[in-house]
Structure 1
Amino acid sequence: MTTPTSTRSAAVIGAGQTGVTAALGLLDAGFEVTLYSDRDQRALRDDVPATGTALEFGETQQAEAALGLDTYTARAPRHTGLSVRIAGPQREELIQFDGHFEGYAGVAVDTRLKADERLTAFRERGGRFVVEQITPESLDAIAAAADLTLVATGRGGLSDLFPVDESRSPYTAPQRSLLTVTVTGLGHDESVFAHRSRAGGAHSGFSILADQGEGWWGPYLHKDAGPSWAFLGWARPGSEWEKRFGTADSAESALRVVRDLYRDHIDWDLPEVLAAEVIADDPHSWLKGAVRPVVRAGAGHTAGGHPVASLGDTSAAYDPIAGQGAQSGLIQAQRLVAAAAVHDGPFDAEWITRQYQAFLAARGDAANRVTRLFLGDPEFADIGGNLFAAAAVDPRFASALVGLLHRPAPFQRVDSLDTAGQFITEVTGEDAAALLASFEPAGRFSRSTFTGSLTATT
């Protein structure tokens, strides 16, 4: 057990992956830490769904390692690249490429597993865990007693303490409806999704249908089943897919929706999808919903005027299409812990805001822009068209484009077709216009011939 070396105290509201990571980090930095949750530890592990797939790449793993935490790279099946297919509104098969992750690998870990293991470590090392529904009123007393208070959940009106940053929040509503389900029945060797990549099951598969939405399959570490696969789908508002997503009411029905979706729209991956099986022992292995992408202020105040800091999804709710939510939350937590550990003065609103602005400059703003790129935001439509076409032509640029999921910073300066061209040229060494002129539509994607464990056909 770690004995605190400081009389400073911290309170963390919310025991999800980001909140408990920050709490454990502050505890190890010498703070007396109290972590609040509206559910007990067993319920947090077994009575709720995982909040997305939480796919993390090198920069996030570095942040976890800096806190002395398990990055799960030795336990989870690794993502070593991303295979992309893009079809037009008339189902014309336009763009295909296979980008390799260079110098890093991704891991997608059940957030319930990660939070549970870190909560266990937090309690064993002397952290105080309180099961209580926190309201804006009760938060006032908590913040009054603590030197530093982090709010890592927006439930119960807590997010309203942090004003929306309208300049960073261009959407007034969710841009996609979401459906996710975790499955077994597939391995991770080169025979799985072999039609997409020589790497097979080591690469995630991403399909974009211009008029409907997007579908993603990737290796996953489930809290009970271990190495597995996760599907995550995004349906455009008003689309046929959105109606289908809405009919899911269990893991079994969610998987049926996905199978029918691939039969009707994405047949190139169908055999693998038919081989997938639900995790029967986990009724919460699926999720549907919608997220309005929004960025809030880093600092807020309770009714009594006590400063509190937003953290994770409370700071910025990203659409999960580019996998930036969990990554940014963990990086933000690590940066806050590191700054707090060496700070001698008060943790006032000025200090909180300064740390948040530094995080936005280092990661948050670029992650927001990359998410909008993958959402097909009209502001980035022409830019995205050129970038994805360049990826189809040149494997080096394919790796650079999918590398934005790991390190989004290079996209921060891409704000026009000219700067997009400069980005292409910098990566490939080729004239961007000449490279793009050589692009030809895919014509027809390779279809899967996978025959392994085809036990589920309905």
Structure 2
Amino acid sequence: MRKILIVGAGQAGLQLALTLVDHGGYDVTLMTAQTPEEIRNGRVLSTQCMFFPALQIERDAGLNDWEDKTPWLEGQRVTLAAPGGQKVLDFYGVWDAPAQSVDQRVKMAGWLERLERSGGKVVLHPVATSELESLAAMYDLVVIAAGRGPLVELFERDEARSPYDHPRRSLAAVYLHGVEPWPSRPVPQVRINAVPGVGEMYLMPAYTNTGPCDAVLIEAVPGSPLDAFTDRRITPDEHLTRLRALLAEWMPWEHELFTKAVPTDARSTLYGSYTPSVRRPVGRVGSQKVLGMADVVVLNDPAAGQGANNAAHCARVYRDAIVARGDLPFDEQWMHETFERYWDYAQWSTALTNALISDGLPEHVQRILGAATQDDDVARRFARGYSVPPSLAEWFFDPHAADAYLASRSAAQSV
């Protein structure tokens, strides 16, 4: 029986651990710093929107434990605004299938308990870099799935795949009850509001410890008026007060929908910033090598909601590669090949995210957004790029391909 050590209890690490245990033939140990109760009762870990391909990965693995309790998200609304709170454009794109968002405090705590019930070993211990060499010698494979902290520094930054060298957004999230739905289409949907040069607000109907809610994320250009949470030592009520003031000035159509909103709990806020980075997948600790996964090696800004989706895809790729390896060693070449199979997918979610947080949207993307206000097919195809990022390769990133598609749509509508 092959011995696998996974360090980190997020979407990727827990999914990989659970699916390896379920497959059988693996002695799986997962190391984490928190108990399920500490996670469940702790501070918000993220905002997330799991699109239907990632949800299907969970369903196929039997990990969709909160599906019946969680709102089904039909699509995404994009509203572009100018300073002064004036709408420039607004459109709605329906996805091929619904998305969902489960508070990771609920999900990770539940999966950690499930792993223990399923026969996986859970070790409550924060792993230091100095411990890894001796730990790695005890296992056939060590996977680092802890996307924050000093262990990430084991993995060299891939400069060719990392265009940014500093954080592009200051992040401030809060989970709320009582936000009103969009009046003209009152179904669960992701609402994306953007003010170029200032930042964005994302709203995702979600499920948390206290039931259905909305996860609201401000992505502020550093130093802009939306960058209003730099002190971070504020209560959720104070956070909501600041959020309402920002919406009143910059997104007034949203402000009126937050009148009855209240925080879900005393730990319902999250703040931070980080530099989007791609790292090389093999880390070295003395004579031993360890494999990085998900946010450790592909860390995207949350602008396109790709983090949890990337993690789910990465865990599936890694699980399949581990099983296919049989009794052969998990050597460095295998580690690089396994990561590159994941990168075949993640390169497109990374390209989408990096485009959205660039200093200015390319002209052909502006034409796409404009066309989406007039053509539901364009709106749907743009929305599909969030849920199936590789589909963007056919048209979104190349100005000529984008313009050819828009021309075909224009011709179809004129017939």
Matched, 1:160 2:153: yes
- In the alignment, which of 357, 360, 363 is matched to residue 375 of structure 1? 357
Matched, 1:412 2:393: yes
Please report how far the alpha carbon of residue 257 of structure 1 lies from its aligned counterpart in structure 2 after TM superposition.
Answer: 1.2
Summarize the alignment of residues 382-397 of structure 1 with structure 2, pairs less than 5 Å apart: 382-397=363-378
Matched, 1:289 2:272: yes
For 1:348 and 1:193, the matched residues in 2 are separated by 52
For 1:65 and 1:136, the matched residues in 2 are separated by 35
Query: Residues 309 and 377 of structure 1: is their aligned pair in 2 closer, same or farther, counting only changes over 3 Å?
Result: farther
For the 8 Å contact 2:36–2:108, the answer to whether it is kept is no
SS at match of 1:283: coil
Please report how far the alpha carbon of residue 216 of structure 1 lies from its aligned counterpart in structure 2 after TM superposition.
Answer: 1.4
For 2:331 and 2:247, the matched residues in 1 are separated by 52
2:222 alignment counterpart: 237
For the 8 Å contact 1:262–1:270, the answer to whether it is kept is yes
Q: 1:259-284: per-residue Cα shift (whole Å, max 9, x none)?
A: 111111111122211221112xx322
2:404 alignment counterpart: 422
Summarize the alignment of residues 27-426 of structure 1 with structure 2, pairs less than 5 Å apart: 27-30=21-24, 31-50=26-45, 52-70=46-64, 72-89=66-83, 91-102=85-96, 104-186=97-179, 192-195=181-184, 198=185, 200-222=186-208, 224-244=209-229, 246=231, 249-279=234-264, 282-304=265-287, 306-344=288-326, 345-361=328-344, 363-378=345-360, 380-413=361-394, 414-425=396-407
Q: What one-letter code is carried by the residue in structure 1 that aligns with 2:101?
A: A
For 1:271 and 1:124, the matched residues in 2 are separated by 46
For 2:37 and 2:229, the matched residues in 1 are separated by 32
Query: Residues 156 and 80 of structure 1: is their aligned pair in 2 closer, same or farther, counting only changes over 3 Å?
Result: closer
Query: Residues 318 and 184 of structure 1: is their aligned pair in 2 closer, same or farther, counting only changes over 3 Å?
Result: same
Q: What one-letter code is carried by the residue in structure 2 that aligns with 1:383?
A: H
Q: 1:153-200: per-residue Cα shift (whole Å, max 9, x none)?
A: 14442111111111111111111101110011246xxxx2114xx2x1
Q: What one-letter code is carried by the residue in structure 1 that aligns with 2:44?
A: P
Q: What one-letter code is carried by the residue in structure 1 that aligns with 2:224?
A: S
For the 8 Å contact 2:8–2:31, the answer to whether it is kept is yes
For 2:93 and 2:230, the matched residues in 1 are separated by 29
Q: What one-letter code is carried by the residue in structure 2 that aligns with 1:35?
A: L
Number of residues of Structure 1 aligned to a counterpart in Structure 2 = 411
Q: What one-letter code is carried by the residue in structure 2 that aligns with 1:117?
A: G
Q: What one-letter code is carried by the residue in structure 2 that aligns with 1:241?
A: L
Please report how far the alpha carbon of residue 373 of structure 1 lies from its aligned counterpart in structure 2 after TM superposition.
Answer: 2.6
- Which runs of no fewer than 5 residues in structure 1 stay unpaired? 1-6, 436-458
For 1:373 and 1:410, the matched residues in 2 are separated by 15
Please report how far the alpha carbon of residue 25 of structure 1 lies from its aligned counterpart in structure 2 after TM superposition.
Answer: 1.3
Query: Residues 184 and 68 of structure 1: is their aligned pair in 2 closer, same or farther, counting only changes over 3 Å?
Result: same
Query: Residues 87 and 371 of structure 1: is their aligned pair in 2 closer, same or farther, counting only changes over 3 Å?
Result: same
For 1:409 and 1:156, the matched residues in 2 are separated by 30
What's the TM-score once normalised by structure 1's chain length? 0.85
SS at match of 2:217: strand
Q: Structure 1 vs Structure 2: percent identity of aligned residues?
A: 27
For the 8 Å contact 1:175–1:236, the answer to whether it is kept is yes
Query: Residues 212 and 377 of structure 1: is their aligned pair in 2 closer, same or farther, counting only changes over 3 Å?
Result: closer
SS at match of 2:100: strand
SS at match of 1:48: coil
Query: Residues 302 and 292 of structure 1: is their aligned pair in 2 closer, same or farther, counting only changes over 3 Å?
Result: same
- In the alignment, which of 1, 12, 24 is matched to residue 6 of structure 2? 12
Query: Residues 145 and 425 of structure 1: is their aligned pair in 2 closer, same or farther, counting only changes over 3 Å?
Result: farther
For the 8 Å contact 1:299–1:353, the answer to whether it is kept is yes
What's the TM-score once normalised by structure 2's chain length? 0.94
Query: Residues 18 and 60 of structure 1: is their aligned pair in 2 closer, same or farther, counting only changes over 3 Å?
Result: same
Please report how far the alpha carbon of residue 90 of structure 1 lies from its aligned counterpart in structure 2 after TM superposition.
Answer: 5.7
- Which runs of no fewer than 5 residues in structure 2 stay unpaired? none
Q: What one-letter code is carried by the residue in structure 2 that aligns with 1:394?
A: D
Q: CA RMSD in A?
A: 2.0
Q: 1:221-248: per-residue Cα shift (whole Å, max 9, x none)?
A: 01x2111111111101220111355466
